[in-house]
Amino acid sequence: MFMMVGLVLFAILTRPASIVEFDGWAKARDVASIENHADAGLKGKFAFLKNTGAFGVGQKGWHVEELVDPVGDRRFLVFTSALTTQEYGDQVFEWRDGALTSLVHERETRGVRLTAADLTIRFNVPQKSTDIGAKITLVAQGAQDGSFFVRLGDNYKVSEVVDLKGNSVKFSQAGGVLSLPVANNGQFEYEIHYSGVVNRPQFAGAIVTDEVMLTNDYWWPHIGRLPLALSTTTHVAKDWIVIAQGDKISEKITGDDKVVRYVNKVPVSYMSLSAGKFREKDRVVNGIRYFVASRELTDEQMADQLEYVPNVIEFFSKLYPHPYKEYGAVDTKLYGGGALEAYSYATYGTGWLPAEDAHEPSHTWWGGVVPNTYLDSFWNESFAVFSEGLYAREGSIGDVEAKRRAFVKTSNASSEYNRGTPFSSGAESGGIASSMGYGKGGDILEQLEFEMGTAKMTEVLKSFLKNHQVGEAGGWPEFEKACGPEWKWFFDQWIRQTGWPKLSINEPTDSPGAVHITMKQEAPYYRFKLEYAVNQGSEWSYGSVDVIPDASGVCELAIPIQGNWDVISLDPFDRLLLPRRPNEPIRWGEGSRRMATYDPKNLIEGRNRLEEKPGYLSNVLFVGTPAEMPELAQYWAEAGFTFEGNTANYQGKSVDLAHGAAVAIVEFEPGKFVGLRAGKTKYNPNTGIASAALVDDYGRFLTGVTQPRTNGPLVRRPFK
């Protein structure tokens, strides 16, 4: 009886399924039913239905459409959803006799590369739609199936495909996947006509009355996300501005129509385009035109943004020449809360700018000069995160030695780091890819810079960029090659391995000329360079030791110290990737944010404002000069500041307090801290982890002092 029931159940689960059934299961996210009608080797390949991608793909639901090859008799089911870029796309499975037999991964080109596209773009603003004609250049290299896939967003429907002679080309489409025949071995061209509604504000592309944003939408044809050279000819109203990737070649007005042409000769994997009734400001610095386009920013804010950006581009141009004649920013409410690189400009959600942002501009190199498909890893996001700190330390204005401590990026391990690696967490990994790309990968690059030194790291970055093959995607393997075989151990443990060091230290023991500390690690054991800080009286000294554990995970550290000491702080600036350590209140940025604010002149936007001067100091940020608040003069002096009228002096630099600020946190009793600020700035001070600093009118760090960590599991005091 039991055997009979089992056979009946097996027959039900393995009977041929229809497209309608697959569609219903996809909409219901019923993975089990789909796997019951799929080859056993596909088990686990439908997790995308249950999860959402790194940037939200799948949140709007999935459905299934059939795709029939125009050549031969192969049939596919396409699981399709609303897409956003730098994500995984529609999922394609071959099916036969009512069952799914294999996955055609997006990285599979089927022997055809799309190397260039020339797009003519028109908009129907009232209908929120666009019409695009795309001339695409293709190269068939060993194509065997007779057909290949070109991908678009699911909202674009192809109406016609023709060859160079104007002959119709047979095609089929399901979701955003287009199947086309291979014309011949070698190079050939097709022209594709397609249109679509673009109405996904703050998710993907969007069209409103006075603005169009194709950015973050798959509006261009591509194969395998591989790099291609893109040209665009965009038709808009004569009073609109067009911003596209590359260099503007021409702009012509005929009647009420404006036609703007851009050419991007740098093959990249992701494309952006905006147009609208923007206001625009620009300036030329050393031959590059810098611009800001916005419908929201004031003229002053746009001018301030143009103050920030040239230094950023010129800094990274020292690694490899900037490949465009211009660089700019588009500020728009249509974009979500973040920003997106476009290599010759970046798109920012309103509320971000003005800002001294190095992340998006650095993508001109990490994603532009060296493209990334995002299918294998988010390596270029790691480089952009690292570049934020590198620019803050080495490129921005201010004292370099002071910046090198103030702008160490605090590393904090996440439980996500146990679930993937920077090396192989691509878009299909969802949130893990973001954690690896924006989190661990950036921290590890900072550790690599510390290991090899900034000068060597700079040379490696230059080599990585210089030797990259144009038109190909890059990644961690190519960067590792630029570093050299002597750094394989570093990539093995940090990039190709999950987790982070799990370590503990014992109480220190003194010997003549040194203090000894035993460090014990849990497996797997890590090798790394470890910074230390030693306090003797009121003075701090710094150095580093190489941690090389023995076969049992133990390493004996010898910290050279002459005489008595008060504090030893290992990893004093939180550079090493470890779990989050206790808050360090002596850091002005994080400490002042937690304080109540007494600001009688309303110079700053403070949280938890106090209307009357408190009779206590602890955990209060006081805004005013020593002349205005004499009771605080001793703490300003203790922090190292002097004042002459409306000028603050610190570490050999001065600022006019009408256009700059002095900031500090002072520990006036053990465990009790007071915050100090004098002066007015346009934008919040950017002080990194410094405890005291001078900043200019734009909030840029001029000089400061950064105190080492004085609490936490890697801090020791003499045993008494």
What are the structure tokens assigned to 182, written together? 């291979």
| Phi, psi of 415, rounded to the nearest 5 degrees | -60, -25
Closest CA to 36 of 104, 78, 99: 99
CA 696/CA 660 separation, integer angstroms: 4
3-state secondary structure 627-676: CCCHHHHHHHHHHCCEEECCEEEECCEEEECCCEEEEEEEEEECCEEEEE
pLDDT, mean of each 10-residue run, the chain (720 residues): 37 74 97 97 95 90 96 94 95 96 95 97 98 97 88 98 96 98 94 98 96 97 97 98 98 96 98 98 98 97 98 98 98 92 98 96 98 97 98 96 96 95 95 96 98 98 98 97 98 97 95 96 98 93 97 97 94 96 89 93 87 95 96 96 97 96 96 96 96 97 96 89
pLDDT, residue 607, reads 75
Bond preceding residue 524 cis, omega within 30 of 0? yes
pLDDT, residue 719, reads 76
pLDDT, residue 7, reads 33
Q: Residues of 620-636 as b/e, b for ≥16 C-beta within 10 angstroms?
A: bbbbbbbeebeebeebb
What are the structure tokens assigned to 688, written together? 């990194």
Span 460-502, pLDDT tens digits: 999 999 999 999 999 999 999 999 999 999 999 999 999 999 9
H/E element holding 3?
A: helix 2-14
- Give CA 557 to chain center in angstroms: 36
CATH (residue range 112-276): 2.60.40.1730
Answer whether 334's CB lies under 8 Å from 202's CB.
yes
pLDDT, residue 12, reads 41
Closest CA to 436 of 420, 451, 458: 420
Q: What residues form DSSP beta bridges with 693?
A: 663, 704
* Coil, helix or strand at residue 573: coil
Sign of CA dihedral 570, 574, 579, 585: positive
CA 674/CA 633 separation, integer angstroms: 12
Kindly report the pTM of this predicted structure.
Answer: 0.95
Which amino acid is located at 163 in the chain? D
CA 324/CA 289 separation, integer angstroms: 9
* Coil, helix or strand at residue 565: coil
Answer whether 389's CB lies under 8 Å from 407's CB.
yes
pLDDT, residue 145, reads 82
pLDDT, residue 557, reads 97
Question: Alpha carbon of 193 to those of 12, 111, 119, 134, 454: distances in Å?
Answer: 44, 23, 10, 6, 50
pLDDT, residue 8, reads 35
CA 662/CA 221 separation, integer angstroms: 52
The DSSP-derived string for 368-431 is TTB---SSS--HHHHHHHHHHHHHHHHTSSS-HHHHHHHTPPPPEE-GGGGS--TTT--GGGTH
CA 509/CA 572 separation, integer angstroms: 20
| Phi, psi of 674, rounded to the nearest 5 degrees | -120, 140
pLDDT, residue 207, reads 98
* Coil, helix or strand at residue 34: helix
